[in-house]
Structure 1
Amino acid sequence: MAGETKYCAICAWRENCQKRYSVRTDIMGNVYCNEFTRDLTLKRKEEVEEQNREAASRIERYIESQLQRMKNLSEQELKEGASGGVITISREAGACGTEIAQRLSRELNMELMNNQIIDYVAESAQISKRVIESLDEKEVSRRDAWIASFFEHKHLWPDQYLDHLIKIIATIGRYGNAIIVGRGAHYILPPEKLFRIRLVAPLEDRIAHIMKVQNATRKEAEKYVLKTDNDRQAFIRKYFHMDMTDPGHYDLLINMRIITVDGAVEAIKAAFLKRKGLEAASPAA
């Protein structure tokens, strides 16, 4: 029939085939390209590459919209703040990491990236926040992920989560002027572009802090602290093959046992701004 579109019935390319003008019909009446291919793997590879391009585009658009506030700051506000640079904060559970990061964000006019990263990954992967939270800073075995896949309408494997996380951290690093809490950011981004902080405290102090902020019993707080520490260490060990407790991975390590939140914030600000001043004065800057 004139004008009829024919294409291979089993070809991996289906309607996207560019050879549909050259066809033949077998004895069963099926239409095939003379050079048909069943290379489903190749088709799958192209689909994955296209999905990755779309995800990268979504990440760029989403983060750019979230960081637009920083771009719109007045020149005076930028002078008063610490435009540029990235601070990463690795923390033990209960060592006041969230509070310190929030204070630094306000006082340095830098964008805070903590739980916001969960939103970005969920947006990038087009999946629910609940799924991302189940993977966030945790080591999830293949078996556990496989079991979980039966109960989720749309599932994300741990390796896929890591791919999205790395792309998002890299994008944030490219924009700069951000404080990134956890998620192995100091292993993803080049160390020379970072000011890497590690917050620690004695176990009893951290348990007491969690009891206060979460209104938890001592047993509940201890369980939370130990599990969270184990999850974070396992996450870093599995995906980055690093020991997050190694002090050599940080530019400034603060023990909260003998310092207040105010003191920690002031110490980090002073060290960060001093380093920025030295970099600005460097001939290579």
Structure 2
Amino acid sequence: MEVTPQTKRSLDRIVEEQIKRWQVDQKKKYKKPIRPVVTISRLPGAGGRILAQKLAEDLKIDLFDSAIVEEIAKNSKVSLRIVQTLDEQDRSIFDDWIQALGENHMWSYEYLEHLTRVVGGIGAHGHAIIVGRGASYILPTEVCLRVLMVAPLQTRIDNVIRAYGVSESEAKRRIIRTESDRKAFIRKYFNADMTDPMNYDLVINTKNFDIDAAVKIVSEAFSSRHWYNYNMKK
């Protein structure tokens, strides 16, 4: 998603409204159960973005796509505000996550610090879907369902042609470039292979399952998995 001045204003509004909702929730005095997160990684053209949108509607939870997370992470003031919306219990969990990450990764840029704040903050609030931006590697496995969307190259090329009306050569060029960028991002900052199935709970091949079927699979896995309270280990 290209961020233009118009979409930037739209993203700012979305972020501001979400922060206000979190601030209201933080003031409510009730014991919060564990509220897990779905993280969606995807090969370009495999349908991950569409899956995330439909899944958010099906589960009635918040959706944070890569553009939103990216914009928040670039703005240190906003990423700090997200942390400030956490209550004391959430902040304790959040601090544990960040400390664990710091022990395993040497962040090269300030941006990554903001990114971990953003994803960690969303994870601490829970009840959300996060698309891309390394969320599968930032959040602990106890609180997230990690999904990878894949498909053969030709299937993905056909999907991009239908979605954007471009030529086959242009579709292939976009896919190869985007896939290379995503793999490099994960490899550089998390020392991982984004296509390794062991890094995920579900790997769905959209050549064999259409998006509606994929939504049912993820929704069922999300609902049936036994979620452990992260604080139980404390």
Residues 93-150 of structure 1, C-alpha deviations (whole Å, 9 max, x = no match)? 0000000000111111111111211231233268xxxxxxxxxxxxxxxxxxxxxxxx
- Judged with a 3 Å threshold, the aligned counterparts in structure 2 of structure 1 residues 222 and 200 are, in CA distance, closer, same or farther, namely same
Q: 1:152: which partner in 2?
A: none
* Residue pair 1:125, 1:164 contacting (<8 A) in 2 also: no
* Cα distance in 2 for residues equivalent to 1:94 and 1:221: 9
Q: Contact (CA 8 Å) 1:111, 1:178: kept in 2 or not?
A: yes
> What per-residue deviation string (whole Å, max 9, x for no partner) do you get for residues 191-238 of structure 1?
111100011001000011111111111111000001111110011001
**Inter-partner Cα distance in structure 1 for 2:199 and 2:16:** 29
CA RMSD of aligned residues (A): 2.7
Query: In structure 2, how many angstroms separate the alpha carbons of the residues matched to 1:178 and 1:89?
Result: 11
Match of 1:169 in 2: 119
TM-fit CA distance, 1:63: 5.7
Residue identity opposite 2:172 in structure 1: E
Counterpart of 2:109 in 1: which secondary structure?
Answer: helix
Q: Counterparts of 2:16 and 2:200 in 1: how far apart (Å)?
A: 28
Q: Structure 2 vs 1, CA of residues 67 and 85 (structure 1 numbering), >3 Å: closer, same or farther?
A: farther
Give distance in 2, aligned partners of 1:107 and 1:253: 19
Q: Secondary structure at the match of 1:258?
A: coil
Q: Which residue does the alignment assign to 1:188?
A: 138
What SS does the aligned partner of 1:183 have? Answer: coil
Q: CA contact under 8 A between 1:88 and 1:179: conserved in structure 2?
A: yes
Query: Quick one: distance in 2 between partners of 1:67 and 1:264?
Result: 30
Aligned to 2:227: 279
Shift of 1:254: 0.5
Number of the residue aligned with 2:178:
228
Q: Which residue of 2 aligns with 1:159?
A: 109
Match of residue 73 from structure 2 = 121
Amino acid in the other structure paired with 2:72 = Y
What secondary structure sits across from 1:279 in the alignment?
coil
Matched, 1:212 2:157: no
| Distance verdict in 2 for CA 1:69–1:234, change over 3 Å | same
Give the TM-score normalised by the residue count of structure 1.
0.58
The answer (yes or no) to whether the contact 1:67–1:111 under 8 Å persists in 2 is: no
Distance 2:167 2:38 in 1: 33
Q: Partners in 2 of 1:72 and 1:107 — Cα distance? A: 24
1:97–1:242 Cα change, 3 Å: same
Q: 1:207 to 1:125 in 2, by over 3 A?
A: farther
Report matched runs for 1:15-94 at 5 Å: 65-69=17-21, 84-94=35-45
Q: Per-residue CA shift, 1:59-82, capped at 9, x if unaligned?
A: xxx968415457879xxxxxxxxx
Between Structure 1 and Structure 2, the one with more helix by share is 2
Alignment of 1:97 with 2:48, yes or no, is yes
Whichever residue aligns with residue 195 of structure 2, its letter is T
Count of residue pairs the alignment pairs up? 181
Larger radius of gyration: 1
What TM-score, normalized to structure 2?
Answer: 0.70
Letter in 2 for 1:90: S
| Change in 2 beyond 3 A, CA 1:245/1:198 | same
CA contact (8 A) 1:210 1:221 kept: yes
* Structure 1 residues 239 and 85: alpha-carbon distance in aligned structure 2, compared to 1, 3 A threshold: same
In the TM superposition, residue 163 of structure 1 has moved relative to its aligned partner by 1.6
Partners of 1:88 and 1:181 within 8 A in 2 = yes
User: Which segments of structure 1 move beyond 3 Å, counting only runs of 4 or more?
Assistant: 62-65, 67-73
**CA–CA separation in structure 2 for the residues paired with 1:101 and 1:177:** 13
Task: Tell me: CA distance 1:205–1:192, structure 2 relative to 1, closer, same or farther (3 Å).
Answer: same
- Structure 2 unpaired stretches of 5+: 1-13, 26-33, 79-107
Over the matched positions of the two proteins, sequence identity in percent amounts to 40
Measure how far apart 1:183 and its partner are. Answer: 0.8
**Matched AA of 1:113:** F
